[in-house]
Amino acid sequence: MFIVTTGGEAMYEKLFSKGRIGLVEIKNRVVMSPMGTGIAAPGGGTNDDIIAYYEARAKGGVGLIESELCRVLDGAGAAEPCQLAARNLNDVAGLARLVDTVHKYGTKMFFQLHHPGGQGSSAIGGEPIVAASAVKAPTALETPKALEIHEIAKIESAFINGAMLTQLAGADGILLHGAHGYLINSFLSPYLNKRTDEYGGNLENRMRFLLEIIRGIRERCGGRFPLGVRLSVEEFLGKDGNDLEESCKICETLEKAGVDFLDVSCGGVPGSSDPCATIEPGTYEQCWKSYMAAEVKKHVNIPVIAVCNIKEPEVAEKLLMDSCCDFVGVARGHLADPEWCNKARSGKAETIRKCIGCLCCFQEIVNFRHVKCAVNPKLGREREFENPKHNGQGRTVAIIGGGPAGIEAALLLDRRGFHVVLFDPSERLGGTLNIADKGEGKEKITRLVDGMIAQVCESDIELRIGEEATVEKVKALSPCGVFIACGAMPMLPPIPGISGKNVVIAEDVLTGSAQLKGDCIILGSGMTGLETAEVVAKAGHRTTIVDMLPEIGQGISILVIFDIKRRLAEYNPVYLLGHRVSEITEGGVALERVDDGKRVFINAETIILALGVRPRQDIVNAFKADFPEAHILGDANRGGRILEATQDAYGQAFVFES
């Protein structure tokens, strides 16, 4: 799969070979695919934060960066409150500074020019949204206005102008976003395009808008400026949308029109049968859609970039070796670890922080916040966390607990020059991640833990694995700082019958240590409850999921919830939402409705508790008594997701002053 160079440096042969798009040589075959960040300037444009974000990935060794959405118009052309922009000459200086920063590392930069079309929001742009036709998305709040001919010409001019501005800024090329239901795609897709004029109907007419933009860019920017198109080559709309066969015809036409490369994506079109296909949850296999890029490649002679849910370099290497594509698009892998390329090339792929597909990144953008990552607390805060103090001077700090919070703090404090002693009573680091990876399709969490352990082993951290920390042991170290990351325990509220023999903990179900009998009721519909429900239902038990809240999965990404509900649907579980538990008996659970107090009894032989967690306060109090300045991290402070644990730990370790 990979070779070792004469210098002893392990590398992936194909992945780190040079490539070419048009006249631009690219130092390797890794493309950082476009992703929203929410950290550009409010109102559109560059700032120090977005430059630091892209610099971290360029420094990490990626060959080509395709930017996030870059608006060419304000108003209806705005997709996000904070995004890159190429609207007028005022944008050029900032774009040029971004390009110059990326170029320091030999990385090339293409800007992705974009208009949201019917996927936009009047609340962002302050204007009614527009599209090829007035087709309302099933979940949208607004119906777009169908563009008139003179408005089409204006938007085409804006795309052409945006290309000229990015070329003036020194960009290496551009990518036209023609996928995911956005404006260009709304013309291409027969599902979204219901026009009866020269811009609708047959494929030739539906391509007219895009081809006129391409022609205009070629006329104004010349033939040497690389130009590509991103396409949803499979819209998952059956006969109503573009399928792979139709999209290959589009690709052939684009090549004839002078396009230099194709970025092959899929889905994202409103009404698609698989809304997760564009941004996949962790249960989706790597490279599951490689067949799409492989088919496109059979029809064109220009480079093809495959966006294939790639997390690991060996998967990317195989994709290239199998000639599925010319370049691999690694998207969220670069959010999780900006050093993805450097680590792979230097033979340290095992230390890569792997994306786990939790989609916290996506959910933050949906909620109009800046992008965050559960496994990379620096994401979106690169400038803030750029220079940790190196003032440890070998002084000892003790960390109690080797879960994600404890590991995160330990690694940073080690980098800062402290002598870190990490206690954990288990034989494997990772804490509750070693339970979280037991659900269906959760292997990516196992690989994340493996990567974190590899990082710890590569550091100078002193490990006390399989050893329970005590106040006396920590005192003996004379530490200058103590960090308590002992985690949390399952919550057991004072419900009558909760200690019954028929009651088990969800974590014990996931690890296989609990015995299940007959019909099962799961109390709690958070991530743990839902993952447990899938394990239980798959084992053949009739399953009921109960929660006080009106919706399942509060706080979890909407795509993750869609994915797990779709998988659970095969087993027909019963959802009883808006119900609180009043009593657990040997025969089942007594419930009452939150809204009107109406009582109901559900029969079941096994009751499974997934009611959240509470901090291990006994351990926290014991250490705080002797170390009142101790820092409490992650679940030991407040139960939350991996995201909160790692962010909390990194932040506290960053500002720690002994």
Query: pLDDT tens digit string along 178-203?
Result: 999 999 999 999 999 999 999 999 99
**Residues 566, 568, 569, 573: is their CA dihedral positive or negative?**
negative
Give the confidence band of 263 by pLDDT, cuts at 50, 70, 90.
very high
- Confidence at residue 444, expressed as pLDDT on a 0 to 100 scale: 93
265-274, pLDDT tens digit by residue?
999 998 899 9
289-312, pLDDT tens digit by residue?
999 999 999 999 999 999 999 999
- Confidence at residue 3, expressed as pLDDT on a 0 to 100 scale: 37
Averaged over 332-346, what is the pLDDT? 97
257 shares a domain with 176: yes
Between the CA atoms of 306, 307, 309 and 314, what dihedral angle is there, to the nearest 10 degrees? 40
* CA atoms of 483 and 399, how far apart (whole Å): 5
Residue 449 has pLDDT above 90, yes or no: yes
CB atoms within 10 A of CB 438: 17
625 shares a domain with 602: no
Q: Which pTM value belongs to this model?
A: 0.95
Beta bridge partner(s), residue 583: 590
362-385, pLDDT tens digit by residue?
999 999 999 999 999 999 999 999
φ, ψ dihedrals at 84, nearest 5°: -65, 160
Averaged over 333-337, what is the pLDDT? 98
| The total number of structural domains that make up the chain | 3
* CA atoms of 332 and 313, how far apart (whole Å): 13
Give me the DSSP letters along 446-497: HHHHHHHHHHHHHS-PEEEET----HHHHHHT--SEEEE---EEE-----TT
CATH number at residue 588: 3.50.50.60
Residue 10 has pLDDT above 60, yes or no: no
Give the confidence band of 140 by pLDDT, cuts at 50, 70, 90.
confident
- Confidence at residue 7, expressed as pLDDT on a 0 to 100 scale: 37
Q: From 24, 33, 1, select the one nearest 340 (Cα to Cα).
A: 33
Give the confidence band of 1 by pLDDT, cuts at 50, 70, 90.
very low
Percent residues over pLDDT 70 in the chain? 98
Last residue of a domain, one of 596, 611, 626: 611
Place of tokens 């799961």: 522
* CA atoms of 316 and 323, how far apart (whole Å): 11
Averaged over 124-131, what is the pLDDT? 97
List all residues 6 or more positions away from 239 whose beta carbon is below 8 Å from its beta carbon: none
Give me the DSSP letters along 28-95: SSEEE-----S-S-BTSS--HHHHHHHHHHHHTT-SEEEEEEEES-SGGG--SSB-EE-SSGGGHHHH
Summary mean pLDDT of the chain? 96
* CA atoms of 309 and 264, how far apart (whole Å): 12
Residue 288 has pLDDT above 90, yes or no: yes
CA atoms within 13 A of residue 283's CA, in its CB half-sphere? 18
Give the confidence band of 504 by pLDDT, cuts at 50, 70, 90.
very high
Q: How many degrees, rounded to 5, is the angle at CA 316 between CA 291 and CA 110? A: 90
Last residue of a domain, one of 319, 347, 366: 366
Q: Is residue 378 part of a domain?
A: no
Give the confidence band of 557 by pLDDT, cuts at 50, 70, 90.
very high
* CA atoms of 591 and 580, how far apart (whole Å): 6
CB–CB of 335/361 below 8 Å?
A: yes
Averaged over 530-558, what is the pLDDT? 95
Q: Is residue 379 part of a domain?
A: no
Least confident interval from 7-16, 237-246, 395-404? 7-16
Place of tokens 């506290």: 652
Q: Is residue 383 part of a domain?
A: no
322 shares a domain with 193: yes
Last residue of a domain, one of 366, 386, 410: 366
Give the confidence band of 139 by pLDDT, cuts at 50, 70, 90.
confident
Q: Is residue 524 part of a domain?
A: yes
560 shares a domain with 416: no
Give the confidence band of 222 by pLDDT, cuts at 50, 70, 90.
very high
Q: Is residue 496 part of a domain?
A: no
559 shares a domain with 642: no
Residue 21 has pLDDT above 50, yes or no: yes
- Confidence at residue 2, expressed as pLDDT on a 0 to 100 scale: 36
Residue 9 has pLDDT above 80, yes or no: no
* CA atoms of 449 and 455, how far apart (whole Å): 10
Q: Is residue 386 part of a domain?
A: no
Helices 208-221 & 149-168 angle (0-180, nearest 10) = 40
The widest CA-to-CA distance across the chain, in whole angstroms, is: 82
* CA atoms of 411 and 393, how far apart (whole Å): 15
Residue 572 has pLDDT above 50, yes or no: yes
350 shares a domain with 402: no
- Confidence at residue 137, expressed as pLDDT on a 0 to 100 scale: 81
Residues spanned by the domain of 22: 13-366
Place of tokens 């053949």: 540
Q: Which two tokens stand for residue 630?
A: 């101790």
CATH number at residue 191: 3.20.20.70
**How buried is residue 551: exposed, middle or buried, by Cβ count under 10 Å (0-12/13-18/19+)?**
exposed
Name the catalytic one among 12, 54, 182, 191.
Answer: 182
25 shares a domain with 79: yes
- Confidence at residue 571, expressed as pLDDT on a 0 to 100 scale: 97
342 shares a domain with 275: yes
Active site residue 571: no
Q: Is residue 240 part of a domain?
A: yes
CB–CB of 394/417 below 8 Å?
A: yes
CATH number at residue 620: 3.40.50.720
- Confidence at residue 73, expressed as pLDDT on a 0 to 100 scale: 98
124 shares a domain with 254: yes
Averaged over 135-154, what is the pLDDT? 92
424 shares a domain with 295: no
- Confidence at residue 516, expressed as pLDDT on a 0 to 100 scale: 96
259 shares a domain with 182: yes
Q: Is residue 569 part of a domain?
A: yes
* CA atoms of 248 and 294, how far apart (whole Å): 11
CB–CB of 191/137 below 8 Å?
A: no
- Confidence at residue 658, expressed as pLDDT on a 0 to 100 scale: 81
- For residue 17, the Cα-to-chain-centroid distance in whole angstroms is 27
Residue 5 has pLDDT above 90, yes or no: no
480 shares a domain with 511: no
Helices 290-299 & 244-256 angle (0-180, nearest 10) = 40
